Amino acid sequence: MTRRAVVKGVGHYLPDRVVPNAEFEASLDTTSEWIVSRSGIERRHFAAEGETTSDLATHAANAALADAGLTGDDIDAIVLATSTADMTFPSAATMVQANIGNTKGFAFDVQAVCAGFVFALTNANALIVSGQADRVLVIGAETFSRIMDWTDRSTCVLFGDGAGALVLESATGNGDTTDRGVLSTDLNSDGRFRDILYVDGGVATQSTGVLKMEGKEVFRHAVEKLAQTADTALDKIGLGADDVDWVVPHQANIRIIKSTAKKLGVGMDRVVVTVQDHGNTSAASIPLALSVGKANGQLKEGDLVVTEAIGGGLAWGAVVLRW
């Protein structure tokens, strides 16, 4: 028998403020039509003044716990993926731990930018498979609106704020691909490409900084690397595109999503797409899409799901799981 990390519950949270594309037309040389044609994004959510990443994460965590029928103290570990933590330290994960009333577990952040949730999910799976935890709360949460250059139309229209969360629980499987839970993972990074997507601030500059991106280069790497990592994760367990029920990709850009799906050999009717409503929420985008996909009746128990993402670093990876 094999120890597996199975999805027990899922939830998400979006700030109240909805920002349609038209809102940018007053301050930027852009139109809603231009933004949609370039990215597929129609609207996004921005956090309110004083609303932090840990606040968003807490709401998503509570939603996932409710979906799982659990309380905060039923959790052994919290792994939170974010690049926009409230403070340099302590971790946003420990803030969520306090907020949900978890007193017996441990909590830490993972920083892999837009690939953060894939990295967090892989770490959470390892904690369960190794027996270090029986239930892990995995969260992706971001407030990217706080690190935007509002004069740069090529970046500031693309991002939004939000959070999504999963509860993973240990279960016993047969050790084959019919098992529910995480079946395979694939993680990668290449620091040679750090200059094509980064924030020009931090401890060294004693400033928060703003996001900088070479869009064409990021696009080129994204399509190639996302398809590759998904194929690799499937190959590890002897499965292929025809076995996949749903691809739940990082929601950065509809053109990247479509190009990657085509490269994988998966039709868009098997891809969960939320980018039009949320924009790019970085580490939050995959758990947000998983939660919306379940709520919409797309993801059903037993479905084979592939998630894949790429972010600054560059860092990229994929997880194959049976829902």
Report the catalytic residues. 114, 250, 280
Whether residue 139 contacts residue 164, with contact meaning beta carbons closer than 8 Å, is answered with: yes
Strand-pairing partners, residue 103, are none
DSSP string over 213-256: E-HHHHHHHHHHHHHHHHHHHHHTTT--GGG-SEEEE--S-HHH
Strand-pairing partners, residue 140, are 81, 164
DSSP string over 155-207: TTTTB-EEEEEEEEEEEEE-SSTTSSEEEEEEEEE-GGGGGGEEES-BTTTTB
Radius of gyration of the chain (CA): 18
Whether residue 125 contacts residue 185, with contact meaning beta carbons closer than 8 Å, is answered with: yes
Cα separation of 114 and 184, whole Å?
20
Whether residue 310 contacts residue 226, with contact meaning beta carbons closer than 8 Å, is answered with: yes
Cα separation of 94 and 137, whole Å?
12
* 319 membership: H or E segment, kind and range: strand 315-322
> 300: buried, middle or exposed (CB in 10 Å: 19+, 13-18, 0-12)?
exposed
Sheet containing strand 315-322, strands side by side: 181-189, 315-322, 304-311, 246-249
Would you give the DSSP letter of residue 296?
A: T
